[in-house]
Structure 1
Amino acid sequence: MTENKTLLREANNIVTIEGTLAEVRHTEWKNGNGLNIELDIEVAPNEVHTVKGFSKYKKDDGSDNAVAKGYQTIVSEYKSIAKHGRDEADKVRITQGKISLNEYYSHGNFKSYPQLMANFVNRLDANEEFNPRAEFDVEVFVKNVTEEKVKGEETGRVNLNGYIPVYNGKVIPFTFVVTKEGSQYVENNYEKGSTVNVFGKIINYKEQKVTTKAAAFGEDKKEITSITRREYLITGGNDPYDEDSKNAFNADAIKKALTEREIYLDELKREGSKENNKKSGFGGSAPNNKLSKPVEISDDDLPF
């Protein structure tokens, strides 16, 4: 792993969110040494983004952890729509958030969802300019570019599929969608194995519409339709880095990180099986203590 840390730097991965604090949730760690926090931040009508964080109360040297203290301040002092009403709710800003993934196994099925993480959340003063938004600025190692299809029909947009190098030499797979205006450029210029810097909007829109159908007799029938749109929309990007640039991600380091990721997912699957077996009170599957062998990745499995 040490070698990969040297070869594979952490990508530029910045998430900016500004909006009204809708709700705060938190849980203490079972061992009492830290806490998890979740913030719902409203940036527009029917558009709320959930940001997560976790921190120990103390650093390794025994001193207080500023991140945990910040979370405690949010829990005890920040005002949310849920608890204090919209007029009293605080306006907040995150400038150093990150794109991440929430990954786990549930009953043998692998689940992976985009997740936003942040260590620090700032509360805006009354006289500060308020500009609600949810945006990203990220470096990506390109796997491929594919046509976006909805119900089998091409939309005119493309998906940028790639890998984001994160901490400790690890990578996470991620898919972005590109605006129609930028799709042709991305398709023509973002080749597999290249490193690119893209930026855009994080969209998490959910709305329920109620329609009423008149009945011949009795009560009219109400139908509820949910409209959901979740995507990381690339609105712009730079030219791919030159292959010999120090900022271009090393293909061999990406390959090594993907191999390590498969081993990690294999371990995650085993842990998920243990948890499911613990919860099976009767009629569950027997514990499987046999270790599966590490996954080997061939060149055919890689994006370059």
Structure 2
Amino acid sequence: MSENKTVLREADNVVTIEGTLAEIRHTEWKNGNGLNIELDIEVAPNEVHTVKGFSKYKKDDGTENAIAKGYQTIVSEYKSIAEHGRDEADKVRITQGKIGLNEYYTQGNLKSYPQLMTNFVNRLDANEEFNPKAEFDVELFVKNVAEEKVKGEETGRVNLNGYIPLYNGKVIPFTFVVSKEGSQYVEDNYEKGATVNVFGKIINYKEQKVTTKAAAFGEDKKEITSITKREYLVTGGNDPYDEDSKNAFNPDSIKKALTEREIYLKEMKKNENNKDDNKKSGFGGSAPNNKPSKPVEISDDDLPF
């Protein structure tokens, strides 16, 4: 392997979303130094994607932060369906979004959900072509490929499990589902430990169906069924990178990043437990935990090599 850097290379991780701005939510940081923003973007009927961002108002050198300024413009000037109606709502485009994870502990259990992030959002002019979509193009370090099963039955698709290296040497686990057309290729060619580039569609579909149950007397009964589909569907991909390629991720670097991730999660869980302990205290704070931390161990099943 040619990659011998201490810090793992950040993967190509590009999300493109184009749609109608459905809703804008934002909160100021408690210390007043920054802004969180959350946008709902509608790309089709019953399909809305939530994109998040956060930024300090000032850079470390004291100059104005263009990202935060852009967020402020969205909050003050952009029109959403929620506030202005569908006819007046802005069409928006994101070309440099990223896939991430929202992770937290609750009652000792790790919750982990895919999360879309962006620094910049462009508002389309009236004369610009509008092409609603939600797509990804991502590099992945393969952990394994497994048959997708629904209620114990194989669907003909496969799950592509692996790790996406992020900024500053961090990695996140992620699962893509591969279309039936590409499943056989992925099973045959995407081996454990390979670096691959895949692309496809982000699906977040929600619909309510109302059926009527006829009554022999009185009013008919209406039954509401919710149908939800959330997945990152791979529709295409490239051949795995050669092991000697400078773009192939080094397994040792991945292993180091996974160890650091486990330490981070362990600390997160401890902090969550401390919060719970403080809530249970009759008065004052909880007693300090002076027990030495156990060394982090990663099972062979979690290693992509």
Shorter-chain TM-score range = over 0.9
The aligned amino acid for 2:54 is F
**1:181 maps to 2:177:** no
Question: C-alpha distance in 1, partners of 2:5/2:271?
Answer: 26
Cα shift readout 1:188-231 (whole Å, capped 9, x = no counterpart): 00000000000000000000011111111111111000000000
Distance change in 2, residues 1:136/1:12 (3 Å): same
2:131 aligned with 1:131? yes
Bigger mean CA deviation after superposition, 203-212 or 287-296: 287-296
Structure 1: distance between partners of 2:160 and 2:282: 45
SS in 2 for 1:262: helix
Q: Residues 190-229 of structure 1 correspond to what in structure 2 (within 5 A)? A: 190-229=190-229
Task: Name the counterpart of 2:110.
Answer: 110
1:40-59 residue pairs with structure 2 within 5 A?
A: 40-59=40-59
Contact 1:4 1:256 in 2 (8 A): no
> 1:299 offset after TM fit, Å?
4.5
Partner residue in 1 for 2:242 = 242
Deviation by residue 1:27-62 (Cα, 9 ceiling, x = unmatched): 111111001110000000000000000000000001
Q: How many angstroms apart in 2 are the aligned matches of 1:130 and 1:225?
A: 32
State the Cα RMSD in Å: 1.9
C-alpha distance in 1 between matches for 2:78 and 2:279? 37
User: Which stretch of the first structure deviates more once superposed, 215-224 or 152-161?
Assistant: 215-224
Q: What displacement does 1:81 show?
A: 0.3
Report Cα offsets for 1:253-303 as digits up to 9, x if no partner.
Answer: 0000001110000001011122333444779x9667245323123546412
* 3-state SS of paired residue (1:246): coil
TM-score calculated relative to the size of structure 1: 0.95
Q: 1:84 to 1:143 in 2, by over 3 A?
A: same
1:81 lines up with 2:58 in the alignment = no
Partners in 1 of 2:44 and 2:4 — Cα distance? Answer: 41
Separation in 2 of the partners of 1:254 and 1:133?
Answer: 32
The alpha-carbon deviation at position 4 of structure 1 amounts to 8.4
Is the CA contact (8 Å cut-off) linking 2:19 and 2:43 kept in structure 1? Answer: yes
Deviations 1:154-175 (A, max 9, x none): 0000000000000110100000
> What percent of counterpart residues are identical?
85
2:143–2:302 contact (8 Å) kept in structure 1: no
**Aligned partners of 2:267 and 2:193: how far apart in 1?**
28
Cα distance between partner residues in 2 of 1:4 and 1:216: 75
| 8 A contact 2:209–2:224 mirrored in 1 | yes
Tell me the equivalent position of 1:295. 296
Q: Deviations over 1:92-119 (max 9, x none)?
A: 0000000000000011111000000000
Q: Give the Cα–Cα distance (whole angstroms) in 1 for the partners of residues 290 and 49 of structure 2.
A: 40
Structure 2 stretches of 5 or more lacking a match?
none
CA contact (8 A) 1:162 1:175 kept: yes
**Which ranges in structure 1 are unaligned for 5 or more consecutive residues?**
none
| Letter in structure 2 aligned against 1:289 | N
1:77 partner amino acid: E
- 8 Å contact 2:141–2:304 — kept in the other structure? no
Assess if the C-alpha contact under 8 Å between 1:4 and 1:169 holds in 2.
Answer: no
* Residue 269 (structure 2) aligns with: 269
2:53/2:118 contact within 8 Å kept: yes
Query: Structure 1's 287 and 126: CA in aligned 2 closer, same or farther, altered over 3 A?
Result: farther
What is the DSSP-based 3-state SS (H/G/I as helix, E as strand, rest coil) of the residue aligned with 1:24? strand
Change in Cα spacing, 1:231 to 1:270, as seen in structure 2 (3 Å) is same
Alignment-derived partner of residue 99 in structure 2? 99
Match of 1:157 in 2: 157
Q: 1:210 to 1:279 in 2, by over 3 A?
A: farther
Question: Secondary structure, in 3 states, of the residue corresponding to 2:277?
Answer: helix
**Aligned AA (1:193):** G
Amino acid at match of 1:107: Q
Q: Distance in 2 between matches of 1:217 and 1:54?
A: 57
Q: How many angstroms apart in 2 are the aligned matches of 1:118 and 1:257?
A: 23
What's the offset of the Cα at 1:8? 1.5
